[in-house]
Structure 1
Amino acid sequence: MMVRDTIRKSLYAGLGVAVVTCEEIRKTVDRFVEAGKMSAEDSEALINELSTKGEKQQKEFQQWLTDIARTTFDRMEIADKQKVDELSAKVKNLEERITLLEDLRHKEEKSH
């Protein structure tokens, strides 16, 4: 339950960044330009600034969420993909060795 709550809170925090899209920002700023409250040059500068900040916040949020997930998985002692791949390679190697040993034993039985 605690993991689910942490993830839910993380997603809700990230939604603040995701909700205000570049298109919505542009529409709002365009209204200011149309009303004469802002110049076209200032509006472009503002849009670029807000876009840059939004992208930065999104990257920070994604890193934060990744860190939380990694910490949670570490606490739960869940194997990551690398560990699973390593174990799969070991199992495959052992299967091949067993097959070779069985073949050798079978050949020895035939020769006796």
Structure 2
Amino acid sequence: MGHVHMIFGVILIILAILATAWEIATQRGLPRALRGVVIGLFDLQVLLGIITWIVRKPNWSFVFHPIIMIVAVIILHVMTSPSAPRSRRLTGWVVATVLFIIGAAIYHH
């Protein structure tokens, strides 16, 4: 399960970078349906991470990876709404993407 979570995570970080670039490059941002798919995939990744956590039972020093990742997904849900002002959407995508990269680096460190 851990390998699936890790490989899927790398793919999702690339997807987050692409979504962030789309937000920066266009005035309207990601279409509503595409945003829903991207955030839904991140929700699935959180679920895979929880399952991996339960199966592997890591020590408590590992707690920052899931906290950072869950906060990043919450930011996506809250700040990237298509009805939000462009500056808020951009901030949400950029902050979440940076947190995903930091969270992944903590995991692989």
Please give the range of the TM-score, normalised by the shorter of the 2 chains.
0.3 to 0.5
Which structure: greater helix fraction?
1
Q: What is the TM-score when the length of structure 2 is the normalising length?
A: 0.38
Greater C-alpha Rg: 1
